Amino acid sequence: MSNKFFIETYGCQMNTAESSAVRKELINRNWEEAGEPDSADLIIINTCSVRATAEERIWGRLGFYKRMKKSRDFKLIVIGCMAERLKDDIKKKFPVVNEVISNFKKDDIANLADDDMSSISAVKDGIDETYHFFENHDRLTPSHSMIPIMNGCDNFCTYCIVPYVRGHEISRESSDIIKEINTLSEDGVSEITLLGQNVNSYKYDSYDFSDLIRLILSETDIKWLRFTSSNPQDFSDRLVQLIADEQRICSFIHLPVQHGSDNILKKMNRKYTSADYYKLIEKLRAVPRNISLSTDMMVGFPGETDDDFNKLCELIERVRYEEAFTYYYNPREGTKAWEFDNDVPHNLKIERLNKIIEMQQKITHQEKTKRLGTIVEAVVEGVSKKDSNEILARTEKNSMVVFPGKITSENDYVTIRLKELRGNTFIGEKVCLN
């Protein structure tokens, strides 16, 4: 009878990818993945420290597992960024945790198959390989995989804990990336997302990010290529031209802005101005491919005035993102902004956040409505959770669409006419092109 493991993941796509790497290695070592934690011999919590709310959830989960340990025995391991930041606190508050590992390699975590916990080493500056997703159990051969190409960050934005818990930027060798992509392609993967905390700052020997993309396009047969998360300061004209020229680069670009006020951007240590950002947007809009954009934005940073906030609202209206990830400022101990005065009152943060959410929801609906009636290509993801007679697919612009039908094969790319919009999901019909 094989041992069973269960992995809980919080935070960014890098954490999700790293959990998938651990999952794959454990399965290769004849471990079995448990559907629920109460049947697992090994439980791994992959943590996030970007926001206080993420850490609060993890503290709650540790309390849950502390109670579970009273009724049965299992190994409990905490890994990831919160483990890096609060290792001593975790061990002190929850001695039921067997081991706290900050940042890691999957081979080290897989050694948990042994009883000797001392065999596990924490490696802060490593980048693992093969982060193939296993989450979608409706598919025999998932079409999409994340490919981490760099780790860490050297920007030290004043609000961000990432450089302290992920370390300095380190990039993978380009030949290793190409080898991994081709291996995944042989396994049926047709779409990849290049991943990094600051993905377009990739640099290995003489290769920069644009060079790497050209290499991938020339030496692999991947159909769709995405990347996240990119920093505006590193978004070069060469990269814009690549997006214009290469149809295999998806036309949905995530470009975090954080704020629209130069005053706040400077306090955040974002190394661009609002004018710089608008200029980059203009270049992307000039690309003859109908580029769609998403972003991250924050309200309530220390010292944010009504005028600062109005400039953020102006940016939202002017750029017209199709999606935006919005949040209010949470102080993170250990960052520069932790020492800042003039914190914005909590109720004002919530008021401002609600306003930009409402603004963005309207713009999202308006921008997606413009695509109704168009014919697009989409990759089948699985069966719709709401209707077993419908298929769920994802478009090149990363939008979800459902349409009538039954899945007959895996990794099918289908042509869809977008007919309706329900919430943020398109309702479509399959089109047969002669």
d(CA 68, CA 38): 8
- Ranking 231-240, 324-333, 405-414, 417-426 by mean pLDDT, the lowest is 405-414
**Phi then psi dihedrals of residue 116, to 5 deg:** -80, 95
Tell me what pLDDT residue 22 has.
Answer: 82
Closest by Cα among 341, 256, 358 to 301: 341
pLDDT in tens, 98-132: 888 866 444 456 565 554 433 333 333 445 544 55
d(CA 21, CA 145): 11
Average pLDDT value for residue range 5-19: 84
The number of CA neighbours under 13 Å toward the Cβ of 314 is 12
Residue 194 · residue 239 · CB < 8 Å:
no
d(CA 417, CA 403): 9
CATH code matching the domain that covers 131-369, chosen among 1.10.357.10, 3.40.50.1980, 3.50.50.60, 3.80.30.20:
3.80.30.20
Tell me what pLDDT residue 133 has.
Answer: 46
Closest by Cα among 82, 121, 119, 116 to 104: 121
DSSP 37: G
- Contacts for 133-138 with beta carbons within 8 Å, 24 or more apart? 133/20, 134/20, 134/23, 134/24, 134/33, 135/20, 136/381, 136/382, 138/381, 138/382, 138/383, 138/407
pLDDT > 50? residue 134: no
- Where residue 290 falls among pLDDT bands split at 50, 70, 90? very high
Q: Per-domain residue ranges for the chain?
A: 4-119, 131-369, 375-430
d(CA 390, CA 401): 10
d(CA 246, CA 250): 9
* Dihedral sign for Cα atoms in the order 241, 242, 243, 246: positive
pLDDT > 90? residue 332: no
Question: Could you tell me the two tokens for 37?
Answer: 């934690």
pLDDT in tens, 194-215: 999 899 999 998 899 999 999 9
pLDDT > 90? residue 353: yes
d(CA 228, CA 230): 5
| Burial tier of 119 (Cβ tally within 10 Å: 0-12, 13-18, 19+) | exposed
Range among 5-14, 34-43, 113-122, 347-356 rated most confident: 347-356
d(CA 424, CA 364): 8
Judged by phi (left if over 0) then psi (alpha if -120 to 50, else beta), residue 181 lies in alpha
Closest by Cα among 294, 357, 344, 335 to 49: 335
Closest by Cα among 408, 413, 383, 409 to 395: 413
- Ranking 90-94, 259-263, 391-395 by mean pLDDT, the lowest is 90-94
| Burial tier of 297 (Cβ tally within 10 Å: 0-12, 13-18, 19+) | buried
Average pLDDT value for residue range 361-382: 94
Residue 25 · residue 110 · CB < 8 Å:
yes
Residue 81 belongs to what H/E stretch?
Answer: helix 81-85
| E strands, 311-412, in order | 323-328, 375-383, 390-395, 400-404
Tell me what pLDDT residue 110 has.
Answer: 59
CATH class of 4-119: alpha beta
- Ranking 101-110, 274-283, 313-322 by mean pLDDT, the lowest is 101-110
Task: Judge if 4-119 and 131-369 fold alike in CATH terms.
Answer: no
d(CA 16, CA 396): 21
Beta-carbon contacts of 44 under 8 Å, excluding residues fewer than 6 positions away, are 5, 6, 7, 8, 19, 22, 77, 78, 79, 109, 112
d(CA 13, CA 52): 18
d(CA 253, CA 153): 20
Mean pLDDT of the chain: 87
Average pLDDT value for residue range 292-311: 97
Residue 135 · residue 381 · CB < 8 Å:
no
Question: Could you tell me the two tokens for 229?
Answer: 């998360």
Tell me what pLDDT residue 125 has.
Answer: 43
Q: Which CATH superfamily is domain 375-430 in?
A: Nucleic acid-binding proteins (2.40.50.140)
Tell me what pLDDT residue 257 has.
Answer: 98
